[in-house]
Amino acid sequence: MLQSLGMARSDEAADMWPRKLTLCLLFSFFLLGSLLLCVPAEARHDTVGKQRAFRRRSRSDNSSTSYSSRTFDVRSFGARGDGMTDDSEALLAAWKAACSVESATILIPSEFMFLIRPLTLQGPCQPSLVLQVSNSPAAQLITSARFLSFFPAFISLERILLIKQIDGVILGPSSSSGWPRFALQQWINVKWVKGFTIKGGGIVNGRGSAWWRRSEGIKPTAIRFYDCHDVVVQDITIQNSPQCHLKFDGSSGILVSKVRISSPENSPNTDGIHLQNTKDVEIEDCIIACGDDCISIQTGCSDVHIHGIRCGPGHGISIGSLGLGGINACVSNITVEDSTIHTATNGARIKTWAHGRGSLMGVAFNRISVSNVDIPIVIDQFYCDKNSCSESGEGVSVSGVTFSGITGTYAVQPVYLACSPTRPCTDVTLSGIELSPSSAGSRGQPLICRNAYGDSTGKLSPDGVNACLGKGNRQYTASALSHHRIESATIEIPSDFMFLIGPVTLQGPCKPNLVLQIDGVILGPSDLGGWPRSGLLQWINFEGLQDFTIRGSGIVNGRGSAWWRRSTGTKPTVSDFLFFFSLTIKKFKGRLAIRFYGSHNIIVQDITIQNSPQCHLKFDGCTGILVSKVRISSPENSPNTDGIHLQDTKDVEIEDCIIACGDDCISVQTGCSDVHIHGILCGPGHGISIGSLGIGGTEACVSNITVEDSSIHSATNGVRIKTWARHAQGGISVSNVDKPIVIDQFYCDGQHCPSWGDAVSVSAVTFSRITGTYAVQPVYLACSPKQPCTDLIFTSIQLSPASGGSDLQPLCSNAYGDSTAPISPRVIDCLQKGNRPYTASAHSQRPYKGWHVGHGRKHSNDHHGHWGRKGNNGRPKGPNHPVHSPPPSHSDDRPYSSRVFDILSFGATGDGVTDDSKALLQAWEAACSVGSATIEIPSEFKFLIRPVTLKGPCQPDLVLKIDGVIMGPSDLSDWPHKGLLQWINLMWVHDFTIKGNGIVDGRGSHWWEEPESLFQEFTSRKSNIIPDTKPTAIRFYGSQNVTVRDISIVNSPQCHLKFDGSSGIRVSNITIMSPGNSPNTDGIHLQNTNKVEITDATIGCGDDCISIQTGCSEVYIHRVNCGPGHGISLGSLGRDNSLACVNNITAKNITIQDALSGVRIKTWQGGKGLVRGVTFSDVSVSNVETPIVIDQFYCDRRSCRNSSDAVAVSDVTFSGVKGTYAWQPVYLACSDARPCEGVRLTDVELLPAPERHLRGLLRQPLCWNAYGETREPLLPQGIDCLQRGGAAASPFPARLPRMLIPPINAYPDTVCRS
């Protein structure tokens, strides 16, 4: 038997055994080498070095993947592997099984071919998950056209180390029709993964030739990483992508090594590697040949190192284009070196749009060899890929660019530096340039150097390169400086000088990366007469700064001794001085006494701040703060001289500081969260304090504070809370501290304090690893009897009395929690176990619901994110009784935080049958009062929800995370019988997000039936009531700053997603689906809503994909795939003689297929108002009945009444509308009374759909009372039908209803403005 099998084996297969043996030996040697390389090297201290070291380790770690019982063979899950059967479900099942097992392997075995459709790989999973594609010519993953009409499969992937080994071939569909009809922007999409590797000797082939023949529409990227970190792509080959081959967006820590990318030279937009908003990137030893940029670097990229690249054919290695659409572009620290570029249109190129904004700085192209490259060196600040572009605007600044060692041959022109006269290129260096004409070309065109300033060094050829740059930097005139502030500037306080500075305010906004370098001494006035007499709160005040740094070895000396002798009056803070400056700039490193207000991304580093009159360094209303290695000092008896003071400030890190002062070393006040304090040496002073909070009966909110690995000596307190907080302290060393551990809910700093009532709630506080000596009392926990301290934790507390000090017994009053050994002395193990069981009498005195306001009090419903349920040790349940026990565990052991409210914790069953509406409402009520809370709809569950209303206002940053399925009732009798307008109704929410990978399913098929069918159904159930309206799936009313992203909404009874009376709306990456014959099922509906962005959406429905009604303005729609449906519509407007006002609407980069209309404006006769400022551009249509429509005679029934008034339509642009139509290319039917004016048809190319053209089922274009201008190309010929000049009445055609001449008064523009 074995012999017969051996004879049956082909020669090629038989020859594989020696190769396999060789590979095994090589693998063994490589494994041995990897083990030797595991000897730890000296750690690098910079962030980039650490991340690159991680990637080097991951390469060696990934190479030693082995298989065990944790291997999941896809054939065990039903995969056929015959190359024709769809094996996607088998792969998904294997993935699901392996995802929950640590260090698992999903095996794609050899000798098989697996047919797979496009996938989205999305975190998280258990660590070290491996997808192993066996090393065999027959082991292939194939994507077929037949199965791509399904929704893309969503796969979970997260790990500490995730490997995808590709040694076979992955194929895309062979024709564009085989891909999904809806907006497919990626083929293999990887999202939210960390520590991920793709490697192997295999091929990813997008088979994109059919796409390259299409000049319009959205085309998919082969492999795209989004929001991924520590990613390695190594050794694979990527071929023939429909568009970009390998893309990284919003990611960091990227290594691309030894990757081969190829597509034909004439394949459009097929960039090799594309970077966007991505940092810390290394691309090495790659071979790239494509139809666009070999490597493209877009805005938001920094710290990119590219070397060992062989590029060509293609468009070279490019930074840009930057600033498209006037956006702010920032690129910095890019190095390209030791690479070869041949047979390319460009070599090393920087391209920016003239109307853009932002900066590009710190770019080096070193040792680049070019061969037959059209233009080897390019800076183009007037980049334009169209026939004409505006050359006006601020411009992207280009500075600090080096071209060094660029050698070889050029075919057209050696150097092209075209810089803006208003924003010239500065600090440009040309060094060692040796370029000569290629043998295939002539002498070429002369080099161009306009408005480029810098220096030329070394050998330079051809002639003229040495004189190309203007020497130095362009000298700005005073008028020019007033218009162009300098980016990345440094304000220098030089050493060996002392500068007397009176109170100043340094106010932003400023350009990014401003630095205040303090190496000298800054002095405040020496006596009180040098200060203002009243209203002085700050000395050096920074306001409104972003990306600002204070640094240096200097000193900021407030000379505050005269102030300390005053017992009354307001004192300025040195920290206030610096605070204002930090508001102007993001990062600050320096030695200053400072106050920052309303500033973001601030660094204060290395400076010394001394003797402030009051607080030394203060942050108020700021985010993104780093204070590092700062020294602060003032005498122990200097009153109120806090070291660092935080108020209403978030995302703070304070590290490695030395602080000695007369008050708190660090003080954390209300409104602070996410504060990490470590490596602090504090003393003398009052320790590290949270509070005092709640003075004057104010509300106080503090959360997520960590203090660790610090030392406190000779202080009145160690770690102290003076009222409510959520706090953790660990690794604190104390020496001769009066009271090392303090919670004081009766704090009073005056002679007369009011008697206590309600208090600021204190819960979830940990004191861990606090060791050393105390001088008075080891523990002082004075908590309110009405608002006791709960969920306290003592662990590893070891305190002993200092010699010569007192030894008072610890105080633990109304303090509840748990302690863990070691605890020394044992008397401090004084916490009452568990949480205080509230009695009925106590509860009757203290109502509890939401945030409670009173004298110095504020508390939340439940810091663990859920209300109590039955079985909580006899404690009361329900929203009026807080329960602080941990959340119930679930079978999936998903992690919880105090801000996560899982609907399962509120009684939801998730079986798709039981009504879970009440659980959702209770979760909403609980989360609504907690800042930055998340309501979780977990995956793998289906929740039946009846109509609900979720009302605000709520605390900011509330998130509804939908990963499971929310289902509407399947039976009409389960819905209310009248007055039903919404299913999930959200009202008055601000700063709210819906996100996740789940589905909202309205199950609306019964609603879509004809009325007769509905009547028969209800009659058969002996019901005589039929619902009179159909509900919208999700509706927002009166809401602001709302984000809806990533979810799917399907089969709504009527509209899927609606916004009414709202503003600040962002909808992105969502999918909306219902059948093409489902009536009135608009995808997204806007009404009385402004400031809207809809992007990257896929919508197929039975009505308008996007509908924009009256009262809407500033709406931006881009990258939307629509169809089937009725296209993208403004209107219908003016129904029942109503007033309609719509303006500033833009729809761009839209794909519409199999739709009734493309882009449409529809208004009723008799309406009033104005539609103005509408742009439809870059619209791809396929088999659309009528791609371009303005219909001022809209009627959705058999006949409508003629009227003498109409909604005016003006300033409407249709540009770049291309594709096929199935009925009529253009339909512009405008009113005699209000003709359409300012209509523009530009670059419109519409061809008849083949089937309709052959059958003669087409109509000619119609333009009636439409005035404006056209610009070629225009196809078909009849669409050049706009009338020139102003509007004038003309006889009305018989085919349209006759209209009367309207009154001249009440011009619609005036009506809308009023």
Q: How far apart are CA 486 and CA 476, in angstroms?
A: 11
Structure-token pair, residue 1094 = 């809809």
Query: With b meaning 16 or more CB within 10 Å and e meaning fewer, what string describes 1064-1081?
Result: bbbbebbbbbbebebbbb
Q: How far is CA 847 from the centre of its chain?
A: 40
Structure-token pair, residue 562 = 């005269």
Listed residue (280, 261, 169) closest to 221, CA to CA: 261
The DSSP-derived string for 731-794 is EEEEEEESEEEEEETT---SS--PPP-S-B--EEEEEEEEEEEESS-SEEEE--SSS-EEEEEE
Q: Which amino acid is at 836?
A: R
1273 preceded by a cis bond (ω within 30 of 0): yes
Q: How far apart are CA 829 and CA 812, in angstroms?
A: 9
Structure-token pair, residue 673 = 């969260």
Neighbouring residues of 1179: CB distance < 8 A, sequence distance ≥ 6: 1147, 1150, 1151, 1152, 1158, 1159, 1187, 1214, 1216, 1217, 1218, 1219
Q: How far apart are CA 25 and CA 1006, in angstroms?
A: 65
Q: Which helix (H) or strand (E) holds 541?
A: strand 540-543
Q: State residue 1250 phi and psi, 5-degree precision.
A: -55, -45
Listed residue (721, 725, 633) closest to 681, CA to CA: 633
Radius of gyration of the chain (CA): 35
Has 1001 been annotated as catalytic? no
Q: List C-alpha distances in Å: 1174 to 864, 1116, 1144, 1146, 1261.
A: 49, 10, 6, 6, 21
Has 1103 been annotated as catalytic? yes
Beta bridge partners of 876: none
Q: Which one from 274, 852, 1126, 1232 is the annotated catalytic residue?
A: 1126
Q: How far apart are CA 951 and CA 992, in angstroms?
A: 12
Under 8 Å between Cβ of 731 and 709: yes
Listed residue (1047, 1058, 917, 937) closest to 986, CA to CA: 1058
Under 8 Å between Cβ of 407 and 378: no
Q: State residue 210 phi and psi, 5-degree precision.
A: -65, -30
Listed residue (87, 81, 146, 143) closest to 118, CA to CA: 143
Q: Where are the beta strands (DSSP E) in 582-671?
A: 594-597, 600-605, 608-610, 617-620, 623-628, 631-633, 644-647, 650-655, 658-660, 666-668
Pairing of strands 594-597, 666-668: unpaired
Listed residue (925, 914, 785, 893) closest to 841, CA to CA: 785
C-alpha neighbours within 13 Å on the C-beta side of residue 1199: 4
Q: List C-alpha distances in Å: 27 to 21, 33, 64, 598, 983.
A: 10, 10, 8, 57, 59
Q: How far apart are CA 788 and CA 813, in angstroms?
A: 8
Q: How far is CA 250 from the centre of its chain?
A: 8
Q: Give the total residue count for the chain.
A: 1314
Alpha-carbon torsion 390, 391, 394, 398, what sign? Answer: positive
Q: Which one from 1103, 1191, 1211, 1232 is the annotated catalytic residue?
A: 1103
Beta bridge partners of 828: none
Q: How far apart are CA 244 and CA 1169, in angstroms?
A: 45
Q: Which amino acid is at 135?
A: N
1261 preceded by a cis bond (ω within 30 of 0): no
Instruction: Catalogue the active-site residues.
Output: 1103, 1126
